[in-house]
């Protein structure tokens, strides 16, 4: 597979980054929050992320989702981080880094991720 270096994001990828990625050539770009640990982000050719969907006023935000204000997304609009829509993407599909989530917002992401995985029920 040839690399399209003109469109590929070549910077460091860290947990909490909001990135744009394209699943296939000539398809629309999607936003996502990087969930994978930074130690893995340095060496693996893939990253685990949660999709970010646009938020419309009046939309429900469920316990396994996190509202992301436009001031933090770098996307120009509010979004919802969908912790039930996790995806592994090839890092060559990342085309741009838009923002980094705050520590406080990442704590909410972790809480929603725990709900998605059912960790609140674990006795360990």
Q: Is 47 or 11 the better-scoring residue by pLDDT?
A: 47
The pLDDT assigned to 83 comes to 96
Nearest Cα residue to 14 out of 94, 79, 87, 86: 94
Indicate whether 2 pLDDT > 50.
Answer: no
Class of domain 17-119: mainly beta
Q: Is 95 or 9 the better-scoring residue by pLDDT?
A: 95
Average pLDDT over residues 35-39: 95
Neighbours of 89 (CB within 10 A): 19
Average pLDDT over residues 20-44: 87
Residue-range domain boundaries for the chain = 17-119
In angstroms, how far apart are the furthest CA atoms of the chain? 49
Average pLDDT over residues 31-43: 94
Average pLDDT over residues 92-109: 94
The pLDDT assigned to 28 comes to 82
């Amino acid at each position: 597979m040839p690399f399209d270096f003109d469109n590929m994001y070549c910077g460091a990828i860290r947990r909490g980054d909001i990135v744009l990625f394209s699943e296939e050539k000539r398809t629309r770009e999607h936003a996502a929050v990087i969930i994978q640990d930074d130690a893995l982000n340095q060496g693996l050719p893939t990253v685990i992320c949660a999709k970010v969907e646009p938020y419309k006023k009046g939309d429900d935000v469920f316990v396994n989702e996190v509202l992301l204000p436009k001031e933090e997304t770098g996307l120009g609009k509010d979004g919802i981080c969908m912790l039930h829509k996790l995806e592994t993407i090839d890092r060559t599909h990342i085309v741009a880094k838009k923002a980094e989530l705050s520590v406080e917002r990442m704590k909410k992401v972790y809480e929603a991720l725990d709900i998605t995985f059912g960790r609140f029920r674990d006795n360990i």
